[in-house]
Amino acid sequence: MIQPLRMMHRAIFLVLAVLLPVLFLSGIAFRHSWPTAKPEHAKASQSPPPGTPP
């Protein structure tokens, strides 16, 4: 009685063990790259353009 259920459980998990890591890793690998703001100190340390009075 329980053997078919056990077999079904194993089959489901076999599929999930392959499918879910692939889905998870693909989702992470192909996610959008979001633009990031430049930090303030980077802006402050920029050298002034040539010809700019000190």
Partner 1 sequence: MSHQYQAISWNRQKRFYDLTIIAGVVIYVALFVGLSAFLFPYATAETMLIRATGSAAFLLLHVVLCIGPLCRLDSRFLPLLYNRRHLGVITFLLGAFHGVFAVIQFHSLGDKDPLVSLLTSNQNFRSLPDFPFQQLGFFALLILFLMATTSHDFWLTNLTPPVWKSLHMLVYVAYALLIGHVTLGVLQSETSPVFVIATGVGLATVLGLHIAAARRERKVDAMKLNTVPHGFVDACAVDSIPEKCAEVCSVNGERVAIFKYDGKISAISNVCRHQNGPLGEGRIIDGCVTCPWHGYQYLPDTGASPPPFTEKVSTFQTKIVDGRVWIDPRPNPPGTRVEPSPIQASEMHV
Where on the chain is the footprint of partner 1 (CB under 8 A)?
1-6, 8-10, 12-13, 16-17, 19-21, 23-24, 26-28, 30-32, 34, 36
Q: What's the CA gap between 48 and 19, in Å, rounded?
A: 54
User: Which letter does DSSP use for residue 51 in this model?
Assistant: T
What is residue 53's three-state secondary structure?
A: coil
Nearest distance from residue 12's CB to partner 1, in Å?
5
Nearest distance from residue 35's CB to partner 1, in Å?
11
| Cα angle value 28/34/39 (rounded, 5°) | 125
Nearest distance from residue 39's CB to partner 1, in Å?
15
